[in-house]
Structure 1
Amino acid sequence: MDATYDAWAGPTVGELGELAVLDRITSRLPTGSPLLGPGDDCAVVAAPDGRFVVTTDMMVHGPDFRWAWSSPEDVGWKAAATNLSDVAAMGAAPSGLVIALAAPQATPVAVLEGIADGFRLAVDALAPGCGVVGGDLSTSATFTVAVTAFGDLGGRAPVLRSGARVGDVVAVSGELGRAARGLARLFRDGVDHQGEPDRAATVASGADADPDVDRQRRPVPPIADGPRAAVAGATAMLDLSDGLAIDAGRLARASRVTLLLEVDLDEVALHGGEDHGLLATFPADAALPGGFRRIGVVRDRGDADLLRAGAPVPTTGWDPYADWDGAAG
């Protein structure tokens, strides 16, 4: 987080009005190469083979981010990364994003500009050529970012989570557990004496310089490995947004198989969320592409979704309804 930049200073969204705010935001966003970009009622985006994938995700202040711990750029980056990762998990290349922001009236415009900068930085780093092609602004008591992402399949069939076959290799690409370790440190060291998220405590504790905290704020999903997996013949794939164990359970149930882990992973790597890596299955004779590495094998469906050393692994992870009670929001 840039200590020299105060996004909370300057005119507010209520003072400038929608048109002026839109102008200041759109000038900072990546446009990509749509057939028709922002400015009309809809954008027009090419789908070369007549098909595309689409996904949507929200980030809400409280359960998904805290201003005490994240800068506006962090929030924009994370909102982009989480949606780009979902597109990649289908084997598609991200082609466009649509963003809706709902902000309290007293929000400084610089905060929205910072979010736009975060989107630009994330797209440039993770999915060059993708653009922000439209969106909407509204007001709300709770700051909310909603993103819809589109992806180009490149003439390939989408990779579903339901296609794993007995004998397939189970592989992951990306990091496991770093974002969860970063969040744990923020909850430990980035709080005041009442346990509320606190910027001063975060700085004083040194958490700002922790690379795991940085990964919590700005995940780096392996976007290019999604299309690579599709080309390499991946039979099933999904984004590891909620934790390896819970997402492996989703893939196992969708494919009606059991996944057997062959590697020793700690509890944070198994159950921590928000790394946004990719979990995929490949034919046994396939060469694993990109950053994918083998972690297990697909077995016939048994009583458990996920096994390790013959014992069931609880398929638990991040659940916003179960894991967040509104405290410190």
Structure 2
Amino acid sequence: MCVRRCVITVGDLGEFGAINRITGRLPQGAAVMLGPGDDAAVIGAPDGRVAVSTDLLIEGRHFRRDWSSGYDVGRKAAAQNLADVAAMGATPTCIVVGLGIPADLPVTWLDALTEGFRDECAVVGASVAGGDITRCDLVVLGVTALGDLGGRPPVTRAGAAPGQVVAVAGRLGYAAAGWALLEAGAPVDSSVLQEAVAAHRRPCPPYAEGPRAAELGATAMLDVSDGLLQDLGHVAKASGVRIELDPQAFPIGEPVAVAAKELGVDPLEWVLAGGEDHALAAVFPKDVRLPASWQVVGRVIEGDGVLVYGREIGHSGWDHFR
């Protein structure tokens, strides 16, 4: 009978018990030739090249445990790395995870985190192939994603040229709206506002559109993680061009519009400068016939920087050291 404490923690399991608990919940896909349990995983690379991206998430900086469940954090951490791989035109194959956690972290939270990693990877047919675990005062996640280019050249940030068009796939402004609602402590008493908050907790990147854009002839592409203006600024700089955006071309989702009205904010600020939706932005030749999943929002001309017709945006996006 439990008298003093009923919550089983990671400290109760110990390091190797926690590792066994994590790996026991992780099925392995076809790309994983050797999964968790050895000094390193072995991943197949049919293309002969591997697209690799890594990100760090720190509790209190990138997520809050009072705002997000362990499952949400796992989905989010996997998503932002898998989206980076898709933005290169590659198909994600696996992630590896470095995990720092407090000893008093409930095992149920760790289980949910693991299931979040697993389920987000399953969206693209990828696997959690391994990682490391250590004790830490906060929850810290280091995630590295790998992907297969499928015989195609990588789509970098440096291929934009004057005369081309800029298009976006996926949602913009939703995660920023959700964060703003939580930060303001605003009542989230409708399904529309709940959708915005859910987008902050768990993004939905358009993974398939990355390889699809590469096949359509995209010359530059990236994952919108820090805000469209700021991220497209990287494309403009790397390509030596100017990008001009048409504010009328951006659809404002209902959750973004309703949250903006609730908080007295211009919703276009969130669409252009809000991050963490992990939409994809790409540059295509003007004559490419784009599917409905891609919305043309601007053009590439000679010059430098990123401009928005007739609008002045207060800030361009997220900077960790600003």
Output the TM-score relative to the length of structure 2: 0.88
Residues 9 and 183 (structure 1 numbering): CA distance in 2 closer, same or farther, change over 3 Å?
farther
Structure 2 equivalent of residue 187 of structure 1: 183
Secondary structure in structure 1 of the residue aligned to 2:210:
helix
Q: In 2, Cα distance between the equivalents of 1:207 and 1:49?
A: 47
Letter in 1 for 2:147: G
Alignment counterpart, residue 46 of structure 1, candidates 21, 27, 44: 44
1:56-67 map, 5 Å:
56-67=54-65
The answer to whether the 8 Å contact 2:34/2:41 transfers is yes
Letter in 2 for 1:136: D
Structure 2 equivalent of residue 72 of structure 1: 70
Q: In 2, Cα distance between the equivalents of 1:313 and 1:251?
A: 19
Structure 1 equivalent of residue 256 of structure 2: none
Residues 9 and 316 (structure 1 numbering): CA distance in 2 closer, same or farther, change over 3 Å?
farther
> How many matched pairs?
298
Q: In 2, Cα distance between the equivalents of 1:76 and 1:177?
A: 21
Aligned-pair CA distance for 1:290: 6.2
Q: Are 1:274 and 2:270 matched, yes or no?
A: no
1:58-207 map, 5 Å:
58-125=56-123, 127=124, 129-189=125-185, 205-206=188-189
Residues 253 and 311 (structure 1 numbering): CA distance in 2 closer, same or farther, change over 3 Å?
farther
Q: Are 1:26 and 2:23 matched, yes or no?
A: yes
Residues 207 and 61 (structure 1 numbering): CA distance in 2 closer, same or farther, change over 3 Å?
farther
> Percent of pairs identical after alignment?
48
Structure 1 equivalent of residue 205 of structure 2: 221
Deviates more, 1:309-318 or 1:243-252: 309-318
Residues 315 and 187 (structure 1 numbering): CA distance in 2 closer, same or farther, change over 3 Å?
closer
Q: In 1, Cα distance between the equivalents of 2:311 and 2:104?
A: 53
The answer to whether the 8 Å contact 2:121/2:128 transfers is no
Structure 2 equivalent of residue 199 of structure 1: none
Residues 148 and 207 (structure 1 numbering): CA distance in 2 closer, same or farther, change over 3 Å?
farther
Can you give the 5+ residue segments of structure 2 that lack an aligned partner in the other structure?
A: 251-267
1:314-329 map, 5 Å:
316-322=316-322
Q: In 1, Cα distance between the equivalents of 2:232 and 2:174?
A: 18
Residues 268 and 205 (structure 1 numbering): CA distance in 2 closer, same or farther, change over 3 Å?
closer
Question: What does the per-residue CA deviation read over 1:274-309, in whole Å, with 9 as the maximum and x for residues that have no partner?
Answer: 11000100011112246111001100014xx11222
Deviates more, 1:273-282 or 1:16-25: 16-25
Q: In 2, Cα distance between the equivalents of 1:60 and 1:9?
A: 28
Regions of 4+ moved over 4 Å: 310-315
Deviates more, 1:9-18 or 1:268-277: 9-18
Aligned-pair CA distance for 1:314: 6.8
Q: In 2, Cα distance between the equivalents of 1:101 and 1:71?
A: 16
Aligned-pair CA distance for 1:108: 1.6
Residues 253 and 243 (structure 1 numbering): CA distance in 2 closer, same or farther, change over 3 Å?
same
Residues 48 and 289 (structure 1 numbering): CA distance in 2 closer, same or farther, change over 3 Å?
farther
Letter in 2 for 1:21: A
Q: In 1, Cα distance between the equivalents of 2:154 and 2:120?
A: 24
Secondary structure in structure 2 of the residue aligned to 1:206:
coil
Q: In 1, Cα distance between the equivalents of 2:47 and 2:314?
A: 40
Q: In 1, Cα distance between the equivalents of 2:306 and 2:6?
A: 50
Q: Are 1:251 and 2:235 matched, yes or no?
A: yes
Question: What does the per-residue CA deviation read over 1:146-189, in whole Å, with 9 as the maximum and x for residues that have no partner?
Answer: 10000000011000001101111100000010000000000111
Aligned-pair CA distance for 1:310: 6.3
Aligned-pair CA distance for 1:73: 0.2
Question: What does the per-residue CA deviation read over 1:213-270, in whole Å, with 9 as the maximum and x for residues that have no partner?
Answer: 0000010000000000000000000000011111111111111100011233511101
Residues 112 and 290 (structure 1 numbering): CA distance in 2 closer, same or farther, change over 3 Å?
farther
The answer to whether the 8 Å contact 1:271/1:317 transfers is yes
Alignment counterpart, residue 295 of structure 1, candidates 288, 294, 297: 297
Secondary structure in structure 2 of the residue aligned to 1:210:
helix
